[in-house]
Each structure stands twice: as structure tokens, then as C-alpha cells.
């Protein structure tokens, strides 16, 4: 399986670790740490040296209750960082955004993957992505970040999330975005209770659409507070457990804060897979 992202074609026969680079003041895990461009670049370099294959740059927090950010402010935050990354490193750069103008500016600055928690449903987003040659990650989210955790409800979360992702992939193809540019994300923690998240994680194979890779992001999320009673800074072990299980279930990209540790977990999971783990 391959994913085409502009000039890059990613071989997903082995999972890729995507390193998170938040340039926001209010992200739940590392808000404010990498607003400074120099710190952001240094952190990106450390993640690449630790084994990251993609750097994901985000300029707007999507944690529950997060405030909206204007297009102008988001562009101000992410474009200088993306431009500097593209000039310094030859790896795929992802932009974590739902705004068409940010997508366009980011790709012009050097981003080669659009990672959208709203799956290109904002007005103009589908058309903006189609005008680029970037890869596109389509994520499932019930509701909006401010209110998504208030009363999430599903009759069959696995079936409903898969149906949504299949529909959005079809919409992308109809708009001219080739299938080999698409990756799907079930949106763990986005408009889902603990039982919904666990059901999705337990049925990742059922979520896979033929020919389309799965991206999974669980790093430091609140499901580990619910499961383990752990604060944000103490959720690494839980994240590694899920990362290992996800690789064994076929996940192709893992979006994480803790790159070096996840790279090791992926290597162990791959060794088990190659040894015939069932």
C-alpha cells in the first residue's frame, strides 16, 4: 500500500510514525511549547532523528472546548514553520487544518499532506484540497470541538464511522482527488465516549476500506485518564500499548507526541507480525 503526497510516495508496507508539532498556545498536551519557530524546528529535528517519517504541523487546538482561531491567525502560526521545515528537511510535512485558505497557503509553503479533522466538510475545503497534489487524511468527528464530548451517541459506532469515512472518500474521488492520495482516521476521542473509542480500537480491521490506509491518533488522549487515571504527562505506556495493538491490526500511520518510544513499539509489533502473530 502506498500514499501519494505531492512529490513523496510513502511506502506503507511498514507503519510510519507521524510526529506532532503543535504551534498553538492551548493544545491539551504541549500548548505553548513550540510557538517560537526556532524551538519548533529543533523539536521537528529531534522527532526526525528519533524516526518520524512525517511531521504534522497544527495551528489550532481541537481539544474539547477549544476556542476558534481565525484563518489569518492560523496562517500566521503555521506558514513560517512549514516554510522553514520544507527548506530544511526532505520529509513529508502535514498541515492539521480544516480551513481552505490555510490548506492552500500551507501547500504553497511546502506541506504535502492535509490532515483535516472535519474530513473536508467545511465550505470550499474539498475544492481547495482537489486543487493541490497533496495527500488528504479524512477524520471522523461527531459534532464540533467545543461541544463534541457533551452527548456523543451511536447505535453502532464501528458501522457508522466506517460509513462516514467511505462516503467522504467517495466525495474526494468525485472531486478529482485520486484514491492513492487518501488516508482514513476513525477519530479516537473526537465526539466519542470511552466505550466508543474502545470499540473502534478493537475493530480497526473492520474499519479498513480496501486500498485505503488507516491513520490512528491516540497519543496522550483522555481515554487513558478514563482507563488508567493518568494525567497527560503520564499516559505514554497506555499509548504504546494501543500503538502496538494498532500495528498488529493493520494501522499504517501513527500520529504521536512521543516519537522515539513509538518507533520502538512499532518495531516490536512488526517483528510479531512477521513471526506470524494472529
The answer to whether 93 touches 54, Cβ cutoff 8 Å, is yes
Could you report how far apart the first and last alpha carbons of the chain are, in Å?
20
d(CA 99, CA 107): 12
Could you tell me which of 240, 266, 252, 51 has the C-alpha nearest to residue 135? 252
The answer to whether 22 touches 40, Cβ cutoff 8 Å, is no
Alpha helices in 110-183 (DSSP H): 125-130, 157-174
Please tell me whether residue 49 adopts helix, strand or coil conformation.
Answer: helix
Residue 181 annotated as catalytic: no
Could you tell me which of 249, 248, 250, 254 has the C-alpha nearest to residue 215? 254
Residue 88 annotated as catalytic: no
> What's the order of all strands across the beta sheet hosting 16-22?
182-185, 135-139, 113-116, 93-96, 54-58, 16-22, 253-256, 215-216
Q: Which of 99, 118, 181, 255 is catalytic?
A: 255
Q: Which of 181, 192, 221, 235 is catalytic?
A: 221
d(CA 228, CA 255): 21
Q: Which residues are catalytic?
A: 221, 255
Amino acid at each position: 500500500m502506498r500514499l501519494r503526497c505531492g512529490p513523496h510516495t510513502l511506502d506503507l508496507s511498514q507503519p510510519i510514525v507521524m510526529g506532532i508539532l503543535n504551534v498553538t498556545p492551548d493544545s491539551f498536551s504541549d500548548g505553548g511549547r513550540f510557538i517560537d519557530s526556532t524551538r519548533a524546528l529543533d523539536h521537528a529535528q529531534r522527532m526526525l532523528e528519533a524516526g518520524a517519517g512525517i511531521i504534522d504541523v497544527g495551528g489550532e487546538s481541537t481539544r474539547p472546548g477549544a476556542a476558534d482561531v481565525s484563518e489569518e491567525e492560523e496562517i500566521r502560526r503555521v506558514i513560517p514553520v512549514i516554510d522553514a521545515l520544507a527548506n530544511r528537511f526532505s520529509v513529508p510535512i502535514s498541515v492539521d487544518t480544516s480551513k481552505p485558505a490555510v490548506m492552500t497557503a500551507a501547500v504553497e509553503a511546502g506541506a504535502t499532506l492535509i490532515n483535516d479533522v472535519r474530513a473536508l466538510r467545511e465550505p470550499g475545503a474539498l475544492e481547495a484540497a482537489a486543487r493541490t497534489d497533496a495527500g488528504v487524511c479524512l477524520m471522523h468527528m461527531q459534532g464540533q470541538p467545543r461541544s463534541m464530548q457533551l452527548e456523543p451517541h451511536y447505535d453502532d459506532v464501528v458501522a457508522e464511522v466506517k460509513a462516514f469515512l467511505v462516503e467522504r472518500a467517495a466525495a474526494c474521488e468525485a472531486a478529482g482527488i485520486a484514491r492513492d492520495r487518501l488516508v482514513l482516521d476513525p477519530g479516537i476521542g473526537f465526539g466519542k465516549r470511552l466505550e466508543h473509542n474502545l470499540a473502534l480500537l478493537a475493530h480497526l480491521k473492520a474499519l479498513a476500506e480496501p486500498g485505503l490506509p488507516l491513520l490512528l491518533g491516540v497519543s496522550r488522549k483522555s481515554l487513558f485518564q478514563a482507563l488508567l487515571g493518568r494525567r497527560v504527562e503520564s499516559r505514554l505506556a497506555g499509548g504504546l500499548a494501543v500503538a502496538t495493538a494498532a500495528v498488529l491490526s493493520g494501522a499504517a500511520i501513527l500520529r504521536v507526541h512521543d516519537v522515539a518510544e513509538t518507533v520502538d513499539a512499532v518495531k516490536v509489533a512488526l517483528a510479531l507480525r512477521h513471526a506470524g502473530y494472529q
